[in-house]
Amino acid sequence: MADYVIGDVQGCYDALMALRKKINFNIDRDRLYFLGDLVNRGGQSLAVLRWVYARQANCQSVLGNHDLSLLYRYHLPKKRSKNAEFKAIFEAPDHTLLMNWLLHCPLIIDLPNALLSHAGLYPFWDFDTFKQRAAWAAQKLHRKPIKYLRNMYGDYPEAWQDDLNKVEQWRFIINSLTRMRFLDTAGGLNFTEKMATTKKPGLKPWFEYLPENHINKPLYFGHWSTLGLYQKGLVNGLDSGCVWGGALTAVRLDDQQVIQVS
């Protein structure tokens, strides 16, 4: 029996099948944890969703920004675009099951030996606050998807304040969990810098703000494809840019072994 964490699939079903073969995935024995962004851009999003959905007893995913984009367009039909992959999902006979399953995916997965979220761990909150806010935001999304998804897009607020209204707090939590890369020294999210490094003064990757001993287990995130496979201390970035011609990465949790397919 083995548990694996898998980076951003982004609709690359063929790569997922190659990875499954390479790790010799056994449905009776192994578990897969996905870091979000199961869908969009790879061309095979429906197949990826169906594969994971059908194995949900052994496969779990956190929500990524592309998954939320799909949910946004599903729950707000007027916002649907020409995205062919999304259209194929909305027109599939099993779309209700798939969209309901996706909506109920968590924003973080907290395992005894790993913490998973799409973009990372907001380093200016203690661990309990982080977990509590992630759970709160997921619950709001589950209970009132239209109300919250309608208000999802926006770069404001850049930083958390206790006197923000509920929708603003929710948006900040979603942005920090699914879009975060660089932060300023006051904990403000930057939404423009997307490469592995930045020359903008005062910005550092979120994980460089993590206080020592903030976490006591490995942390896994995706989302940052320009960073590539990143492993330093307890911090592990697994978006190795599968959809951009890079690799799809899995890490076996027991021994941290990295397995990749291109």
Q: Which residues of the shown chain bind Mn ion in the complex (CB under 5 A)?
A: 37, 64-65, 223
Contacts of residue 88, Cβ cutoff 8 Å, sequence gap at least 6? 45, 46
**Shortest separation between residue 222's beta carbon and Mn ion, angstroms:** 6
Shortest separation between residue 40's beta carbon and Mn ion, angstroms: 9
Identify whether 145 is preceded by a cis peptide bond (ω within 30 of 0).
no
Q: Which is nearer to Mn ion, 103 or 227 (CB)?
A: 227
CA distances from 178 to 53, 90, 141 (A): 21, 23, 14
Tokens of 39: 């869908």
Whole-number minimum distance, CB 239 to Mn ion, in Å? 7
Q: Between residues 65 and 169, which has the closer beta carbon with respect to Mn ion? A: 65
Other C-beta atoms lying within 10 Å of the C-beta of residue 146: 10
Name 236's bridge partners: 220, 231
Task: Output 25 or 45, the one with its CB closest to Mn ion.
Answer: 45
Distances (CA, A) of 112 to 123, 199, 253, 254: 20, 37, 11, 11
Strand 219-221 to 230-232 pairing: unpaired
Q: List C-alpha distances in Å: 211 to 123, 160, 186, 216.
A: 7, 18, 14, 11
Q: What is the dihedral of CA 220, 237, 71, 53, to 10 degrees?
A: -60
For residue 64, the minimal CB distance to Mn ion (Å) is 4
Closer residue to Mn ion, CB minimum distance, 37 or 85: 37
Q: What string of DSSP letters covers 64-77?
A: -HHHHHHHHHHHSG
Q: Which residue is nearest to Mn ion (CB)?
A: 223
Q: Which is nearer to Mn ion, 154 or 202 (CB)?
A: 154
CB of 153 to Mn ion, least distance (A): 14
Minimum Å distance from CB 37 to Mn ion? 4
Residue number, 25 or 137, with CB nearest to Mn ion: 137
